[in-house]
Structure 1
Amino acid sequence: MFDEGFSHAFEVVLFIAVLISSLFSLFLFTLPAQYDPYKDRTPTISEYDNLNPIEKKKTDDEKEWRPGKTTQVVVLGDIGRSPRMQYHALSIAKHRGRVFLVGYQESEVHPDILSDPLIHIVPLTPAPAFLRSSSKLLFPIVAPLKALWQAQSLYRALCYRSAPARWMLVQNPPSIPTLAIAKTCCVLRNTELVIDWHNFGYSILGLKLGTSHPLVKISALYEDICARLADNHFTVTNAMARVLKKSYGITAQTLHDRPAAMFRPISQQARAKFLSRLPETAQYAQNLSSAKNPWKLIMSSTSWTPDEDFSVLLDALCDYSAQATSRANLPKLLAIITGKGPLKEHYLSKVKALNQEKKLLNVIVTTAWLTPEDYALLLASADLGVSLHTSSSGVDLPMKVVDMFGAGLPVLGWSKFEAWPELVKEDQNGKGFGSAGELSKQLTDLFADKKSLYPILKSGAMHESENRWDDEWDRVGGKMFKYTR
Structure 2
Amino acid sequence: MLDSLITVAFCISTAFTLLIFLLPSQYASKRSSDPNAPKTTAQILVLGDIGRSPRMQYHALSVAKHGGQVEIIGYHESEVHPEIASHPRISIVPLPPHPACLQTSNKILFLLFGPLKVLFQIGCLWWTLAYRTKAVKWVIVQNPPSIPTLAIASLVCFLRHTNLLIDWHNFGYTILALKLGDAHPLVRLSKWYEKKFGQYATAHLCVTNAMATVLKEEFGLRAPILPLHDRPADHFQPILDDDVRREFLLLLPETESVRPLIQSNDLRVLVSSTSWTADEDFSLLIDALVRYSNLAETMNPDLPPVLAIITGKGPQKEMYLNQIAELEKAGKLRKATIRTAWLTMQDYARLLASAALGVSLHTSSSGVDLPMKVVDMFGAGLPVVGWNRFPAWPELVTEGRNGRGFGSAEELVDQLVELFGDSSKLETLRAGAREESSRRWDGEWDPVAGKLLGLI
For normalisation by structure 1, the TM-score amounts to 0.91
Aligned to 1:31: 23
1:23-422 to 2 correspondences below 5 Å: 23-38=15-30, 64-67=36-39, 69-250=40-221, 251-266=224-239, 267-291=241-265, 294-326=266-298, 327-422=300-395
Query: 1:398 is aligned with what amino acid?
Result: P
The alignment yields a C-alpha RMSD, in angstroms, of 1.4
Q: CA deviation at 1:463?
A: 0.3
Preserved contact between residue 384 and residue 403 of structure 2 (Cα < 8 Å): yes
Contact 1:108 1:371 in 2 (8 A): yes
* Secondary structure at the counterpart of residue 107 of structure 2: coil
Distance 1:107 1:344 in 2: 17
CA distance in 2, matches of 1:450, 1:236: 33
Partner of 1:49: none
- Whether the aligned pair in 1 keeps the contact of 2:204 and 2:225 (CA below 8 Å) is yes
Tell me which residue corresponds to 2:9. 17
**How much has 1:18 moved relative to structure 2?**
2.0
| Higher Cα Rg, which structure | 1
Q: For residue 441 of structure 1, what is the aligned residue in structure 2?
A: 414
CA offset digits 1:20-77 (Å, max 9, x no partner): 22222112112221111117x5x85xxxxxxxxxxxxxxxxxx84424x000111100
Task: Report percent identity of matched pairs.
Answer: 56
Report the AA paired with residue 464 of structure 1: E
The separation in 2 between residues aligned to 1:96 and 1:114, in whole angstroms, is 17
> C-alpha displacement at 1:138, in angstroms?
1.0
CA contact (8 A) 2:75 2:94 kept: yes
Amino acid at match of 2:405: G
Total equivalences in the alignment: 452
One-letter code of the match for 1:310? F
- Using the alignment, how far apart are the partners of 1:29 and 1:220 within structure 2? 35
Deviation at 1:442, TM superposition (A): 0.5
Q: How big is the shift at 1:328?
A: 2.1
| Letter paired with 1:20 | I
How far does the alpha carbon of each residue in 1:328-381 deviate from its partner, in whole angstroms, 9 at most, with x for none? 210110001111111111111110111111111111101011111111111111
In structure 1, C-alpha distance between the alignment counterparts of 2:334 and 2:147, rounded to whole Å:
45
* Paired residues of 2:362 and 2:386 also in contact (CA < 8 A): yes
Q: Is the 8 A contact 1:65 1:118 kept in 2?
A: no
- Counterparts in 2 of 1:127 and 1:437: CA distance versus 1, 3 Å: same
Letter in 2 for 1:314: I
Confirm or deny: 8 A CA contact 1:168 1:194 kept in the other structure.
yes
User: Structure 2 CA distance, aligned partners of 1:360 and 1:19?
Assistant: 73
Partner Cα distance (1:64, 1:471) in 2:
25
Q: Report the Cα distance in structure 2 between the residues aligned to 1:16 and 1:149, rounded to whole angstroms.
A: 32
SS at match of 2:108: coil
SS where residue 132 of structure 2 aligns? coil
1:48 equivalent in structure 2: none
Q: Supply the distance in 1 between the matched residues of 2:395 and 2:422 (Cα, whole angstroms).
A: 29
Distance in structure 2 (CA, Å) of the matches to 1:28 and 1:278: 59
Amino acid at match of 1:350: Q
What is the DSSP-based 3-state SS (H/G/I as helix, E as strand, rest coil) of the residue aligned with 1:138? helix
The match for 1:47 is none
State the SS of the aligned residue for 1:316. Answer: helix
**Within 1, Cα distance between the matches of 2:245 and 2:141?**
37
Instruction: Find the counterpart in structure 1 of residue 450 from structure 2.
Output: 478
- Partners in 2 of 1:261 and 1:269 — Cα distance? 22
Task: Measure how far apart 1:275 and its partner are.
Answer: 1.5
Q: Shift of the alpha carbon at 1:286?
A: 4.0
**Match for 2:24: what amino acid?**
P
Unaligned segments of structure 2, at least 5 residues: none
- Once residues 209 and 239 of structure 1 are traced to their aligned partners in structure 2, the CA distance between those partners, rounded to angstroms, is 25
User: Hey, what does 1:51 align to over in structure 2?
Assistant: none
Could you tell me how far 1:449 is from its partner in structure 2?
2.7
CA contact (8 A) 2:293 2:332 kept: yes
SS of match in other structure, 1:229: coil
Instruction: Determine if contact 2:173/2:190 at 8 Å carries over to the other structure.
Output: yes
User: Which amino acid in the other structure matches residue 159 of structure 2?
Assistant: L
Q: How far apart, CA to CA, are the structure 1 residues paired with 2:272 and 2:329?
A: 23
Other structure's SS at 1:483 match: coil
The amino acid across from 1:37 in the alignment is S
Partner in structure 2 of residue 52 of structure 1: none
Gaps in structure 1 of 5+ consecutive residues: 1-6, 45-62
2:349 alignment partner AA: A
**Bigger relative contact order, structure 1 or 2, given CA contacts below 8 A and separation 6+?**
2
TM-score under structure 2 length normalisation? 0.97
